[in-house]
A and B are shown apart, each in its own frame.
Chain A
């Protein structure tokens, strides 16, 4: 496999007395999906924001394309090729797909006007490359389903030359079918040589697409496993914390037993 495109080593992040992340190390290679798994409160959001250039690490090192780097702003990270698609998206519901797609990076004609025809054509083509046939680029994004919106956001990041794609719970609010659609784009992006960091709390979504799995718990890395070395049951166990889950199963069984 090729070299790591993005890597953090021993990163900690403190907010006052709160330790949000402690001694966290992880990486992603081009053409690979690194799944970051963690339950609520594990520190996923802080880690994403640190990777995306929103937060600066309190301790530790950040490497991008082999060089130690410190991004001053998310915009700087984006310009370097690290695109983050947040859960609440950067999509504007009332605007059409093509207007959303090019917001902030509008293609211009020679006369300085917005190249609307090209914008529509590129939007349609890029979406088609990701395997989605948009009905009408003039359609407002608000009329798209959650999965389709995620896909537009991913396609946009890919089109604007993302080398690393950070996806913050892209499947969280989606139904089974919709989640499947998004997972396919994740694979599609990976196949195009992009390093994907896929954040989720759902091992069932992570397992089919991930190449390796980083488990985050209470601000610390519990482990980093290649797909070959960890079966899905094991993954679920580790994520939830095996003992807690067994306890829960026990309690549930008791409760159901009493009910019937």
Chain B
């Protein structure tokens, strides 16, 4: 039997059905815009490109993890707080006992901080699954809980909310792995960019080429239907909350090595920036649809607008107005092309 309604989809239509396509288009538009407007400010240069990528990398790492979680149908508003929390955990464990810390060797401090951070994700996930409350509410609570802990515990122990001196204890390996600058074209690129690419590549493979990826889509599309065919929905979601915590930990480690310190307030508002990158990247807020590449583009757009505004000398106060506008436009645009593409 052949269907009389068979129609070959054009290449353009095929591209349109890809979740990251809108973000890619927006990325090109934003780049061209600044390339014209800010050409005299040296926008088209290795230095500016490096600045954009260096800015985008930490946000991009968070966005990749948040994307997987959002495709599975859950939010994590606490990820910014966990960045601050994880950074303080690392530094507090390293800081010598006479300064109020634990004085552990760096590798042990990193390992223990990693485990504690994964537990924060586990805590979020279990709470969401056990209470069946929206993750929006649960992680809104943990946004305050972990930020509060990131301020209160170090203050209690060391009487400070900033802890420095990572390099005094590092024998060099950690800084080399997470804070190296790579010279290219006269500009300095952070090694974090490479971490970002590696993490995004792994996430893409998991999402598109493994059964776990199929479970992620299925769980976000309809958790009940997925459960009925045997997908371990609760375990999957808890694991994904732990993945976002792991991404937050990675960013905290990058910042601790780059800036040589931790600060209780680090990562503030990153949860929203990550969600913006993910949504601009074409992921559906309600789950079940999205990609990893889209949020990568989303993070690039975010950083590009930020950098573009800085170098054009426009008052930085306008940055939020631009970003908010782009977010709304991107969502409208994505909705529009998705509807167009899915209709025949």
CB closest chain-A residue, reference B7: A135
- Shortest CB distance B232–A (Å): 9
Complex interface: stretch among A59-67, A97-105, A202-210: A97-105
Chain B residues numbered 204-224 whose CB sits less than 8 Å from any CB in chain A: 205, 208-211, 213-215, 217-218, 221-222
Give the bracket for the number of chain B residues in contact with chain A.
Answer: 20 to 34
Using Cβ atoms and an 8 Å threshold, which residues of chain B touch A136? 9
The residue that B214 contacts in the complex, of A89, A90, A99, A142, with Cβ under 8 A, is A99
Using Cβ atoms and an 8 Å threshold, which residues of chain B touch A132? 1
Complex interface: stretch among A7-15, A111-119, A213-221: A111-119
Known: A106-B214, A114-B209. A93 touches B221 (CB 8 A): yes
Report the bound CA distance from A116 to B211 in whole Å: 10
Q: Are B218 and A92 in contact (CB under 8 A)?
A: yes
Known: A94-B284, A94-B288. A104 touches B226 (CB 8 A): yes
- Shortest CB distance A3–B (Å): 29
Using Cβ atoms and an 8 Å threshold, which residues of chain B touch A143? 342-344
Q: Are A140 and B342 in contact (CB under 8 A)?
A: yes
The residue that B218 contacts in the complex, of A89, A95, A114, A131, with Cβ under 8 A, is A95
User: B225 at interface (Cβ–Cβ under 8 A)?
Assistant: yes
Using Cβ atoms and an 8 Å threshold, which residues of chain B touch A78? 230
Using Cβ atoms and an 8 Å threshold, which residues of chain B touch A74? 228
User: A253 at interface (Cβ–Cβ under 8 A)?
Assistant: no
Chain B residues numbered 288-342 whose CB sits less than 8 Å from any CB in chain A: 288-289, 342
Q: Are B1 and A133 in contact (CB under 8 A)?
A: yes
CB closest chain-B residue, reference A140: B342
CB closest chain-A residue, reference B228: A90
Report the bound CA distance from A123 to B70 in whole Å: 27
Q: Are B221 and A95 in contact (CB under 8 A)?
A: yes
Give the bracket for the number of chain A residues in contact with chain B.
Answer: 20 to 34
Using Cβ atoms and an 8 Å threshold, which residues of chain A touch B6? 133, 135
Known: A94-B288, A113-B210. A103 touches B231 (CB 8 A): yes
Interface of A is mostly: loop
Q: Are B214 and A102 in contact (CB under 8 A)?
A: yes
| Residue from the set B225, B228, B343 with the largest chain A CB neighbour count within 10 Å | B225
Using Cβ atoms and an 8 Å threshold, which residues of chain A touch B205? 113
Q: Are B209 and A95 in contact (CB under 8 A)?
A: no
| Residue from the set B214, B215, B342, B343 with the largest chain A CB neighbour count within 10 Å | B214
Q: Are A112 and B210 in contact (CB under 8 A)?
A: yes
- Shortest CB distance A239–B (Å): 30
Q: Are B342 and A103 in contact (CB under 8 A)?
A: no
Chain A residues numbered 201-240 whose CB sits less than 8 Å from any CB in chain B: none
Q: Are B229 and A103 in contact (CB under 8 A)?
A: yes
Q: Are B342 and A116 in contact (CB under 8 A)?
A: no
User: B3 at interface (Cβ–Cβ under 8 A)?
Assistant: yes
Using Cβ atoms and an 8 Å threshold, which residues of chain B touch A131? 1
User: B10 at interface (Cβ–Cβ under 8 A)?
Assistant: no
Known: A90-B225, A92-B226, A94-B289. A103 touches B214 (CB 8 A): yes
User: A108 at interface (Cβ–Cβ under 8 A)?
Assistant: yes
User: B2 at interface (Cβ–Cβ under 8 A)?
Assistant: yes
Using Cβ atoms and an 8 Å threshold, which residues of chain B touch A90? 222, 225, 228-229
User: A91 at interface (Cβ–Cβ under 8 A)?
Assistant: yes
CB closest chain-A residue, reference B232: A104
Report the bound CA distance from A99 to B214 in whole Å: 7
The residue that B230 contacts in the complex, of A75, A89, A114, with Cβ under 8 A, is A75
- Shortest CB distance A238–B (Å): 34
Q: Are B225 and A116 in contact (CB under 8 A)?
A: no
Q: Are A103 and B2 in contact (CB under 8 A)?
A: no
Q: Are A95 and B288 in contact (CB under 8 A)?
A: yes
- Shortest CB distance B231–A (Å): 5
Using Cβ atoms and an 8 Å threshold, which residues of chain B touch A133? 1-3, 6
CB closest chain-B residue, reference A86: B228
Q: Are A104 and B218 in contact (CB under 8 A)?
A: yes
- Shortest CB distance B278–A (Å): 16
- Shortest CB distance B210–A (Å): 5
Chain B residues numbered 1-46 whose CB sits less than 8 Å from any CB in chain A: 1-3, 6-7, 9
Nearest 3 interchain pairs by C-beta: A104-B229, A92-B221, A106-B211
Give chain B's interface residues, CB within 8 Å of chain A: 1-3, 6-7, 9, 205, 208-211, 213-215, 217-218, 221-222, 225-226, 228-231, 284, 288-289, 342-344
* CB-defined A-B contacts under 8 Å, sample of 19: A75-B230, A89-B225, A90-B229, A92-B217, A92-B225, A95-B221, A99-B218, A102-B214, A103-B214, A103-B231, A104-B218, A104-B231, A113-B209, A113-B210, A114-B210, A114-B213, A116-B208, A133-B1, A136-B9
